[in-house]
Amino acid sequence: MFLKGTAIFGAASVLAGSGYRHLYNLNKRDYQPEGRQSYLAGIQPLDNQGNVPNILLICLDDLGFGDLSIFTETPINTPNIEQLAHDGTSFSNFYSCAPLCSPSRAGMLTGRYPVRTLVPMPLYHAGSPMDIIFNLGGVYACGVRGIPEDEILLSEVLTARGYRTALIGKWHLGDRSPSLPNERGFDYFFGAYYSNDDSPYAIYRNDQVAIKAPADQNTLTQRLTEEALQFLEGNHDKPFFLYYAQPFPHIPLHASKEFQGKSKAGLYGDVVEEIDWSIGKILDFIKQNSLEENTLVIFTSDNGPWWQGSAHGLRGRKNHIFEGSFRVPLILRYPGIIQSGSICPALTMNIDLFPTCLDIAGIDLPKDRIIDGNSLFPILRDENTLGHDTLYFYKGDTLLAMRQGDWKYIRRHMTDNGGYASLRQGPFLFNLVTDPYESYSLIESHPQIAKEMLEQMHTWDQELTNNLRGWLDLT
């Protein structure tokens, strides 16, 4: 009887605790879906479908800042991406808003720091061991397991404006309703819900399985290329938004037979060279159909390199707080509007892509919420515009670093130092102009700068504690 009673009491305690946490999470989420609905309903549809540019957003997965020959020599041959840089503007101080996949994409598609979107950590498919662990362990912010329904995504805004929209490749913002691609503004979806190391790895066409798990990843880039070209073939006579979210060079690495052994950088290089081929096919279609002059092309990566790839000598890699984790490539091409062959040093982040796309599509930003990003077009039009004054760097929902001008302050945290990775080190203060590799902390010689930056981080922390979601009072 005692054991039975203990078991019943234990089960009741677990259920009560689970119920309390569920209610707590619901309250803390601070959902406000009415603002999203009102904003999307108020977007003016296009009168003349030829008066806005097409948008091609290319985002690679775990590509390093030094994997391209824009800023350095590399054994990887990427002529199409190099030509894109020659025809457009490259950014030398462009950052991801997160060191991991899901939060980086959440920030890029909303223009907001991922902590505001309640997606500060990677998401995992329903029922997987990691999904269960993250949920029971409270790792998911407020229990959120997909991009919240009150967040406004770039795809939703452009759909409301009259664009035809497609996501080809990796979603990684949830596999549950209402967080599926077709529910979040994409007319067409072909790809995977999660990273290519997730299992079972299936490929979907809209909400139906197109390639059963385990999908053959050796031919994946070619399949994605075919799907992208088919979408363009059927929609290039009207404004389109194509989000080409390549699942590579995230591991496991896969390339088709045509590219295996082709590069001088091993399988990783083979994968990147096949991606370059794929991008070339898409850009050729745009050129052959006289769409170049009316298409904004954006090329970037979601975060720095992981086990392979080059961070261009910068310290750290994926999931670190140092530059190698957050600094990523950005190329913008828009003939006649964006200068060709130039390098922009402005301090920028992928949260800027949302307002940039709204800017060229003639759409006002939402007014019911804080949009942390800024349009890049004022920077491109005026060389004296320096971009952000300050950028904040999170690991999960913890603010660990801040960049302001030439200076970067890093709080004491568990670092990347080999056998001592479990030990906390810091704080650090680096001057990224004199020391871009974050090798020499100047915190002892410039204590006042460190003090002021830390105080600003405390202020920012408090602002988010008071209003995590960033809602604005319109009354």
* Structural contact between residues 409 and 321, judged by C-beta atoms closer than 8 angstroms: no
SS3 377: helix
Calculate helix-pair angle for 79-87, 266-288, nearest 10 degrees: 50
Query: What element of type H or E holds 280?
Result: helix 266-288
State the catalytic residue, choosing from 101, 142, 344, 357. 101
Phi, psi of 322 (to 5 degrees): -85, 175
State the catalytic residue, choosing from 59, 97, 142, 172. 172
Question: CA–CA separation, 161 vs 451, rounded Å?
Answer: 46
Locus of tokens 């919240």: 148
Both tokens of 355, joined, read 């307002």
Burial class (CB in 10 A: 0-12, 13-18, 19+), 322: buried
* Structural contact between residues 80 and 60, judged by C-beta atoms closer than 8 angstroms: no
Question: CA–CA separation, 80 vs 88, rounded Å?
Answer: 12
Locus of tokens 């540019």: 53
For 17-59, the DSSP string reads HHHHHHHHHHHHH---HHHHHHHHHTSPPPSSTTSS-EEEEEE
Is position 172 annotated as part of the catalytic site?
yes
Question: CA–CA separation, 357 vs 52, rounded Å?
Answer: 10
Strand partners, 188: 166
For 331-367, the DSSP string reads EEE-TTTS-TTEEE--BEEGGGHHHHHHHHTT-PPPS
SS3 369: strand
- Number of Cα atoms under 13 Å in the Cβ half of residue 118: 24
Give the CA radius of gyration of the chain: 22
Is position 344 annotated as part of the catalytic site?
no
Catalytic site positions: 101, 172
